[in-house]
Structure formats: structure tokens, C-alpha cells
Amino acid sequence: MRTRNQRTLARSLQCSGVGIFTNSDVKIRFCPAPENHGVQFVRTDLAGSKPIPALIENAVFKQRRTAIEFQGASVEMIEHVMAALAGLQIDNSRVEINAPEAPCFDGSSLELSEELLGAGIVEQPFQRKQICIEQAVTVEDESGSFIQAKPLNRSVLAIGYYLNYGEDSPVSPQCLTLEINPETWMSQLAFARTFVLEHEVEAMQSLGFGQKLTAKDLLVLGEQGPIENELRTLDECVRHKILDCLGDFALIGCDLQGYFCAHQSGHALNRELIKNLRATQQSAISDNSWKVA
């Protein structure tokens, strides 16, 4: 990923769906935005609500999902939306949403990515900032999960993920490394759905989550494999974990160059890495957001 120009949408588009945690019917509208605007969410259901910049400093803790909050307004489950925007290199967009949570769609970012591509993407006359990893940075948690960001001798972003839930899990051990760009995003990642284990669904539904969804809407993995559903690829789970990493890493607000190697990480560790990079690699951000003639 060499230096490139910033990009935005050619026109606005609207999608609708259901929020998995709040059971809300959600309308989400993606609008073009000027250069250096970044991605900002606006809660249209809250009168006078200020835009919420999708940046790591606005991230707030939520179990199993990524949420941002700014001046009293928040939006949750943004990771699959952020992944679609990052995967397609749409840097600037005002995202209007009428609910506290982004729609789940089919658990993947495919439908949204196709809609975004259909709206068209245009280049803007400013360069996109980037951070090039020059020294290895590792974050880990007490369970032994970790992510390491390492230098790479090519100007690209590569994300690798190693997943192993143990012998008794219905999810087999999987690992995959992909170079991330709009082509690999569409062909290798956008279709990969979020997944839950059967016993987790029961726990979630007892808490009131996912009331409007059935096993057909959500990839539920039981002991014998997917329930009322089929895997899109044998390694769909690890592909979704890479998708989640990409969406969470996008909260850094610029392009990343380097190799990101994740072992069993989830949203909390992804956010910690990005906070760490934001703090330690500030000087490595190439401030090249000037106007190109």
C-alpha cells in the first residue's frame, strides 16, 4: 500500500437491517464527506446530537462488540461497517444512523460492501495519512491471547489470525494471513459471517439479545456444525476474525503498513493495540495530508 489519495463515496446510499443487541430496526445512510473528515457517525434519532468520530479515543468498552461515544451520543456494533469502509478504502463518510446500533445484516459485511461499491467511490485531491510499523509492538492479555504488529519489507497491510478453541470446540483450528486491499476484501473477507456457539446463543437470548434473529440469520455453531445453515468456506470463522481486526484497526484513522499477527484476539485486545500504536507511533504518522496538485 503505497501512498494513495483519500477516497469518499460518489453519492449517498441507505441500507436497513436489524440490530442484534438492541433488536432495533435500523436505517443507516452513508454520505460523501470532504477530505480529512474521516468516518463520523451521526445519531439522527437524537435531537441535536453531535457527530461521533470513529476514532480509538472515542471507543468505549462493550462485550463482544465495538462501540464509540462522543458528547453523550454513542453507537455500537460498528466493526463490520468500519471493516467495509476500510476494506474498500473509503476514508471519508458521514454515516447517519437512527438507532444506537449498526445493523447486523447477515453477520458479514458483504451486502453493505456491494451497496457501497454500487454507489461508486471517488478519489479526493489529498493524500491519506499512514503509519508504517518500524518496530515490533505486542499487546497481550492474561488468557495468553496476543497481537503483534511487525515491520514488513513491502508497503502493504497484512493481517494474520490464528484461532484454536481447543479439541472440544465445534470450530476447528484455523489460521490465515491475507494482504488487505479492496480486491482481497471483496473476494476473501467481506462474506465471512460472525459466528456464535449454540450455548452462547441461549445465554444471549436469555439476556434479551437477538430476539429478531433466527439461526438462519446468524451463523450458530453446534456440536455437529452449523445449525440450519452452511459455512461459506471451511475457514469462514478465521476470515471473520480478520474482518473484525480490520474494522477495529480502522479506528486509528489512517492507513497501516506492516504485518499484524493475531493469536485468539478479540475486540478488547484489538482496541488496546490501536491505542498503543496511536500513543507510540504518533511520530511515525506520515503527515502527508496535503493537497495534491
Residue 101 in contact with Zn ion, rule: CB under 5 A? no
Contact stretch for Zn ion (CB under 5 A) within 22-30, 87-95, 164-172, 244-252: 244-252
Contact stretch for Zn ion (CB under 5 A) within 44-52, 154-162, 169-177, 240-248: 240-248
CB of 85 to Zn ion, least distance (A): 15
Which helix (H) or strand (E) element contains residue 50? Answer: none
Edge to edge, what strands does the sheet with 73-76 contain? Answer: 59-60, 67-70, 73-76
By CB under 5 A, name the one of 96, 235, 244, 255 that touches Zn ion: 244
Burial call 48-67: b when 16+ CB within 10 Å, e when fewer? ebebbbbbbebbeebeebbb
CB of 153 to Zn ion, least distance (A): 30
Asked whether the beta carbons of 83 and 108 are under 8 A apart, the reply is no
Residue from 253, 266, 263 nearest 129 by CA = 253
Write phi, then psi, for 246 (nearest 5 degrees). Answer: -60, -45
Burial call 179-199: b when 16+ CB within 10 Å, e when fewer? ebebeebbebbbbbbbbbbee
CB of 80 to Zn ion, least distance (A): 6
CB of 142 to Zn ion, least distance (A): 22
Residue 194 in contact with Zn ion, rule: CB under 5 A? yes
Nearer to Zn ion, 104 or 285 (CB): 104
Write phi, then psi, for 6 (nearest 5 degrees). Answer: -65, 160
Catalytic residue among 37, 240, 263, 267: 267
Contact stretch for Zn ion (CB under 5 A) within 22-30, 113-121, 201-209, 242-250: 242-250
Nearer to Zn ion, 194 or 270 (CB): 194
267 is catalytic: yes
Residues in CB range of 142: below 8 A, 6 or more apart: none
Nearer to Zn ion, 84 or 139 (CB): 84
Distance, CA of 15 to CA of 84 (rounded, Å) = 13
Nearer to Zn ion, 217 or 244 (CB): 244
CB of 79 to Zn ion, least distance (A): 5
Residue 76 in contact with Zn ion, rule: CB under 5 A? no
Q: Which residues bind Zn ion (CB under 5 A)?
A: 194, 244
Name the residues annotated as catalytic: 267
